Structure 1
Amino acid sequence: MSASALIAARLDAPRGRVPLLARFSYDAEDPYVVQATFFDGRTTLARWHFDRQMLAEGLHRPVGEGDVRFGPHTEAGGDELRVALRGPGVEMQGHAVLFLEARAIARFLEQSYAVTGAGEEYLDLDKLLDEFLAG
Protein backbone atom coordinates (compact mmCIF):
# COMPACT_ATOMS: atom_id res chain seq x y z
CA MET A 1 0.00 0.00 0.00
CA SER A 2 1.12 3.55 -0.60
CA ALA A 3 0.15 7.21 -0.40
CA SER A 4 1.15 10.20 -2.49
CA ALA A 5 0.36 13.88 -2.86
CA LEU A 6 1.28 16.69 -5.21
CA ILE A 7 2.16 19.73 -3.10
CA ALA A 8 3.04 23.28 -4.14
CA ALA A 9 6.50 24.36 -3.03
CA ARG A 10 8.37 27.64 -3.12
CA LEU A 11 12.15 27.77 -3.46
CA ASP A 12 13.81 30.68 -1.66
CA ALA A 13 16.00 32.33 -4.30
CA PRO A 14 17.86 35.65 -4.58
CA ARG A 15 15.16 37.01 -6.92
CA GLY A 16 12.32 35.92 -4.62
CA ARG A 17 10.44 32.71 -4.06
CA VAL A 18 10.23 30.50 -7.13
CA PRO A 19 7.16 28.24 -7.41
CA LEU A 20 7.81 24.51 -7.84
CA LEU A 21 5.87 21.31 -7.40
CA ALA A 22 6.73 18.43 -5.12
CA ARG A 23 5.43 14.87 -5.19
CA PHE A 24 5.51 13.30 -1.75
CA SER A 25 5.27 9.51 -1.74
CA TYR A 26 5.06 6.91 1.01
CA ASP A 27 5.25 3.14 0.56
CA ALA A 28 4.63 0.55 3.29
CA GLU A 29 7.58 -1.44 1.89
CA ASP A 30 9.91 1.27 3.23
CA PRO A 31 7.93 2.35 6.31
CA TYR A 32 10.27 4.98 7.74
CA VAL A 33 10.80 6.92 4.51
CA VAL A 34 8.95 9.66 2.66
CA GLN A 35 10.25 10.33 -0.84
CA ALA A 36 9.99 13.90 -2.12
CA THR A 37 10.58 14.70 -5.78
CA PHE A 38 10.84 18.40 -6.63
CA PHE A 39 10.23 19.49 -10.18
CA ASP A 40 9.62 22.46 -12.43
CA GLY A 41 7.25 21.50 -15.20
CA ARG A 42 8.55 18.21 -16.58
CA THR A 43 12.08 18.68 -15.24
CA THR A 44 12.99 16.80 -12.06
CA LEU A 45 15.21 19.07 -10.00
CA ALA A 46 15.93 16.86 -7.00
CA ARG A 47 14.78 13.73 -5.21
CA TRP A 48 15.16 13.39 -1.45
CA HIS A 49 14.31 10.72 1.09
CA PHE A 50 13.05 12.06 4.41
CA ASP A 51 12.44 10.36 7.72
CA ARG A 52 8.63 10.34 8.15
CA GLN A 53 8.75 10.99 11.91
CA MET A 54 11.15 13.90 11.47
CA LEU A 55 8.91 15.40 8.77
CA ALA A 56 5.91 15.17 11.14
CA GLU A 57 7.83 16.71 14.03
CA GLY A 58 9.05 19.52 11.77
CA LEU A 59 5.48 20.78 11.51
CA HIS A 60 5.63 21.68 15.22
CA ARG A 61 9.28 22.40 16.09
CA PRO A 62 12.69 22.73 14.43
CA VAL A 63 14.26 19.29 13.84
CA GLY A 64 17.13 17.79 11.91
CA GLU A 65 20.80 18.26 11.53
CA GLY A 66 23.24 17.88 8.71
CA ASP A 67 21.71 17.71 5.25
CA VAL A 68 18.02 18.02 6.16
CA ARG A 69 16.27 20.38 8.57
CA PHE A 70 12.56 21.02 9.03
CA GLY A 71 10.75 23.66 11.03
CA PRO A 72 7.48 25.55 11.25
CA HIS A 73 7.38 28.94 9.54
CA THR A 74 4.63 31.54 9.72
CA GLU A 75 4.50 34.30 7.14
CA ALA A 76 1.64 36.70 6.37
CA GLY A 77 -0.83 34.59 8.33
CA GLY A 78 0.01 31.33 6.53
CA ASP A 79 1.52 28.30 8.19
CA GLU A 80 4.33 26.70 6.24
CA LEU A 81 6.93 24.00 6.69
CA ARG A 82 10.44 25.31 6.10
CA VAL A 83 12.74 22.68 4.57
CA ALA A 84 16.47 23.37 4.47
CA LEU A 85 18.49 20.99 2.28
CA ARG A 86 22.24 20.75 1.88
CA GLY A 87 24.08 18.47 -0.48
CA PRO A 88 26.35 18.31 -3.50
CA GLY A 89 23.44 18.02 -5.97
CA VAL A 90 21.47 20.97 -4.60
CA GLU A 91 21.54 24.25 -6.49
CA MET A 92 22.56 27.56 -4.87
CA GLN A 93 26.10 26.54 -3.77
CA GLY A 94 25.02 23.27 -2.18
CA HIS A 95 22.00 24.38 -0.19
CA ALA A 96 18.35 25.23 -0.75
CA VAL A 97 15.44 26.41 1.38
CA LEU A 98 11.91 25.44 0.40
CA PHE A 99 8.55 26.36 1.86
CA LEU A 100 5.54 24.02 1.77
CA GLU A 101 1.99 24.56 3.01
CA ALA A 102 1.87 22.91 6.44
CA ARG A 103 -1.76 21.75 6.03
CA ALA A 104 -0.91 19.94 2.78
CA ILE A 105 1.99 18.14 4.47
CA ALA A 106 -0.25 17.23 7.43
CA ARG A 107 -2.89 15.79 5.05
CA PHE A 108 -0.23 13.74 3.26
CA LEU A 109 1.08 12.42 6.58
CA GLU A 110 -2.47 11.42 7.57
CA GLN A 111 -2.68 9.42 4.34
CA SER A 112 0.66 7.76 5.14
CA TYR A 113 -0.56 6.85 8.66
CA ALA A 114 -3.59 5.17 7.09
CA VAL A 115 -1.08 2.93 5.26
CA THR A 116 1.20 2.35 8.27
CA GLY A 117 0.27 3.83 11.62
CA ALA A 118 2.74 5.89 13.63
CA GLY A 119 4.78 3.52 15.74
CA GLU A 120 3.68 0.51 13.68
CA GLU A 121 6.62 0.65 11.28
CA TYR A 122 8.28 -2.70 10.86
CA LEU A 123 11.19 -3.83 8.77
CA ASP A 124 11.46 -7.50 7.92
CA LEU A 125 15.12 -7.89 8.89
CA ASP A 126 15.26 -11.49 7.67
CA LYS A 127 14.06 -10.41 4.22
CA LEU A 128 16.48 -7.48 4.22
CA LEU A 129 19.38 -9.73 5.17
CA ASP A 130 18.42 -12.28 2.47
CA GLU A 131 18.35 -9.50 -0.16
CA PHE A 132 21.69 -8.16 1.06
CA LEU A 133 23.36 -11.56 0.93
CA ALA A 134 21.85 -12.37 -2.48
CA GLY A 135 23.02 -9.25 -4.14
Structure 2
Amino acid sequence: MSVIRPTTVEVETSLRLVAPDATALPVRASLRYDPADPYAVHVLFHAESAGGEAVSWSFARELLVTGLDEPAGIGDVRVWPWATPRGDFVALALSSPDGNALFEVPRSVLVRFLRRTYVVVARGREAEHLDVDTAVNRLLAGR
Protein backbone atom coordinates (compact mmCIF):
# COMPACT_ATOMS: atom_id res chain seq x y z
CA MET A 1 0.00 0.00 0.00
CA SER A 2 1.41 3.40 -0.93
CA VAL A 3 1.25 6.44 1.29
CA ILE A 4 -0.58 9.45 -0.12
CA ARG A 5 1.32 12.63 0.69
CA PRO A 6 -0.67 15.80 1.39
CA THR A 7 -0.41 18.43 -1.30
CA THR A 8 1.21 21.82 -1.16
CA VAL A 9 -1.09 24.85 -0.86
CA GLU A 10 -0.18 27.83 -3.01
CA VAL A 11 -2.13 31.05 -3.53
CA GLU A 12 -1.18 33.82 -5.94
CA THR A 13 -2.18 37.26 -4.70
CA SER A 14 -1.38 40.94 -4.84
CA LEU A 15 -0.06 42.67 -1.74
CA ARG A 16 0.50 46.37 -1.30
CA LEU A 17 3.93 47.67 -0.33
CA VAL A 18 3.35 50.67 1.92
CA ALA A 19 5.95 53.38 1.26
CA PRO A 20 7.16 55.77 3.99
CA ASP A 21 4.92 58.52 2.59
CA ALA A 22 1.90 56.15 3.01
CA THR A 23 1.46 55.55 -0.72
CA ALA A 24 1.09 51.90 -1.66
CA LEU A 25 2.51 49.96 -4.58
CA PRO A 26 1.09 46.61 -5.75
CA VAL A 27 3.40 43.61 -5.42
CA ARG A 28 2.71 40.16 -6.85
CA ALA A 29 3.27 37.41 -4.30
CA SER A 30 2.62 33.75 -3.63
CA LEU A 31 1.61 32.34 -0.28
CA ARG A 32 2.86 28.77 0.05
CA TYR A 33 2.43 25.98 2.57
CA ASP A 34 4.29 22.69 2.24
CA PRO A 35 3.20 19.87 4.58
CA ALA A 36 6.82 18.65 4.59
CA ASP A 37 7.59 21.87 6.52
CA PRO A 38 4.40 21.84 8.61
CA TYR A 39 5.10 24.71 11.00
CA ALA A 40 6.05 27.25 8.33
CA VAL A 41 4.43 29.36 5.65
CA HIS A 42 6.40 30.94 2.83
CA VAL A 43 5.79 34.21 1.03
CA LEU A 44 7.45 34.55 -2.36
CA PHE A 45 7.63 38.12 -3.66
CA HIS A 46 7.82 38.09 -7.46
CA ALA A 47 10.24 40.52 -9.11
CA GLU A 48 8.56 42.63 -11.78
CA SER A 49 11.72 43.73 -13.55
CA ALA A 50 13.25 41.58 -16.26
CA GLY A 51 15.89 39.34 -14.77
CA GLY A 52 14.84 40.22 -11.23
CA GLU A 53 14.95 37.42 -8.70
CA ALA A 54 12.04 36.52 -6.47
CA VAL A 55 12.53 37.00 -2.73
CA SER A 56 11.23 34.42 -0.27
CA TRP A 57 10.44 34.81 3.43
CA SER A 58 9.50 31.93 5.73
CA PHE A 59 7.93 32.16 9.15
CA ALA A 60 5.57 30.33 11.50
CA ARG A 61 2.05 29.60 10.29
CA GLU A 62 0.85 30.33 13.83
CA LEU A 63 2.24 33.87 13.52
CA LEU A 64 -0.19 34.57 10.67
CA VAL A 65 -3.07 33.04 12.62
CA THR A 66 -2.42 35.20 15.67
CA GLY A 67 -1.77 38.29 13.54
CA LEU A 68 -5.26 38.12 12.05
CA ASP A 69 -6.72 39.33 15.35
CA GLU A 70 -3.91 40.86 17.40
CA PRO A 71 -0.31 42.04 17.02
CA ALA A 72 2.10 39.12 16.79
CA GLY A 73 5.80 38.57 16.29
CA ILE A 74 9.00 40.21 17.36
CA GLY A 75 12.14 40.87 15.42
CA ASP A 76 12.24 40.17 11.68
CA VAL A 77 8.56 39.35 11.11
CA ARG A 78 5.60 41.12 12.70
CA VAL A 79 1.92 40.81 11.81
CA TRP A 80 -1.14 42.74 13.01
CA PRO A 81 -4.74 43.52 11.99
CA TRP A 82 -5.08 46.66 9.89
CA ALA A 83 -8.50 48.16 9.15
CA THR A 84 -8.64 50.79 6.40
CA PRO A 85 -11.45 52.62 4.60
CA ARG A 86 -10.90 50.08 1.78
CA GLY A 87 -11.54 47.11 4.07
CA ASP A 88 -9.87 44.73 6.50
CA PHE A 89 -6.23 43.95 5.92
CA VAL A 90 -3.33 42.44 7.81
CA ALA A 91 -0.04 44.30 8.09
CA LEU A 92 3.06 42.22 7.42
CA ALA A 93 6.28 43.95 8.49
CA LEU A 94 9.57 42.39 7.42
CA SER A 95 13.00 43.52 8.63
CA SER A 96 16.46 42.46 7.51
CA PRO A 97 19.95 43.96 7.52
CA ASP A 98 19.16 45.16 3.98
CA GLY A 99 16.09 47.15 5.03
CA ASN A 100 12.49 47.08 6.15
CA ALA A 101 9.23 46.59 4.28
CA LEU A 102 5.60 46.95 5.29
CA PHE A 103 2.97 45.08 3.28
CA GLU A 104 -0.80 45.27 3.39
CA VAL A 105 -2.40 41.85 2.83
CA PRO A 106 -6.15 41.37 2.32
CA ARG A 107 -7.41 39.63 5.46
CA SER A 108 -9.82 37.50 3.42
CA VAL A 109 -6.92 36.12 1.34
CA LEU A 110 -5.03 35.06 4.47
CA VAL A 111 -8.12 33.49 6.04
CA ARG A 112 -8.82 31.40 2.90
CA PHE A 113 -5.15 30.43 2.60
CA LEU A 114 -4.93 29.35 6.25
CA ARG A 115 -8.16 27.35 5.99
CA ARG A 116 -6.70 25.48 3.03
CA THR A 117 -3.50 24.76 4.99
CA TYR A 118 -5.58 23.28 7.82
CA VAL A 119 -7.22 20.87 5.40
CA VAL A 120 -3.73 19.59 4.55
CA VAL A 121 -2.31 19.66 8.11
CA ALA A 122 -4.75 20.36 10.94
CA ARG A 123 -3.80 22.98 13.50
CA GLY A 124 -2.03 21.30 16.40
CA ARG A 125 -1.16 18.21 14.31
CA GLU A 126 2.01 19.60 12.70
CA ALA A 127 4.35 17.27 14.61
CA GLU A 128 2.70 14.26 12.96
CA HIS A 129 3.89 15.54 9.57
CA LEU A 130 7.42 16.48 10.58
CA ASP A 131 10.05 14.09 9.22
CA VAL A 132 12.91 14.73 11.64
CA ASP A 133 15.27 12.22 10.00
CA THR A 134 14.96 13.89 6.60
CA ALA A 135 15.39 17.35 8.14
CA VAL A 136 18.57 16.29 9.97
CA ASN A 137 19.96 14.64 6.83
CA ARG A 138 19.33 17.83 4.83
CA LEU A 139 21.10 19.91 7.46
CA LEU A 140 24.07 17.57 7.50
CA ALA A 141 24.21 17.59 3.70
CA GLY A 142 24.21 21.40 3.68
CA ARG A 143 20.89 21.78 1.83
Give the structure with the larger strand fraction.
1
Q: Please give the root-mean-square deviation of Cα atoms over the aligned residues, in Å.
A: 1.8
Separation of aligned partners in 2, 1:124 and 1:45: 27
Aligned-residue offset at 1:56: 1.0
Q: How does 1:9-24 map to 2 (within 5 A)?
A: 9-14=15-20, 16-24=23-31
The match for 2:64 is 55
Percent identity of paired positions between Structure 1 and Structure 2: 35
Using the TM superposition, name which of 56-65 and 6-15 deviates more: 6-15
Structure 1 gaps, min length 5: none
Separation of aligned partners in 2, 1:125 and 1:116: 16
8 A Cα contact 2:67 2:81, kept in partner: yes
Cα pair distance change 1:77/1:131, threshold 3 Å: closer
Separation of aligned partners in 2, 1:46 and 1:98: 14
Q: Which runs of 4+ in 1 moved over 6 A?
A: none
Q: Which of 75, 82, 85 in structure 2 is aligned with 1:76?
A: 85
* Structure 1 counterpart of 2:35, one-letter code: A
8 A Cα contact 2:36 2:131, kept in partner: no
Separation of aligned partners in 1, 2:113 and 2:133: 30
Separation of aligned partners in 1, 2:86 and 2:25: 19
* Structure 1 counterpart of 2:41, one-letter code: V
1:2 paired to 2:8: yes
The match for 2:3 is none
Q: Secondary structure at the match of 1:108?
A: helix
* Structure 2 counterpart of 1:23, one-letter code: S
The match for 1:110 is 115
The match for 1:26 is 33
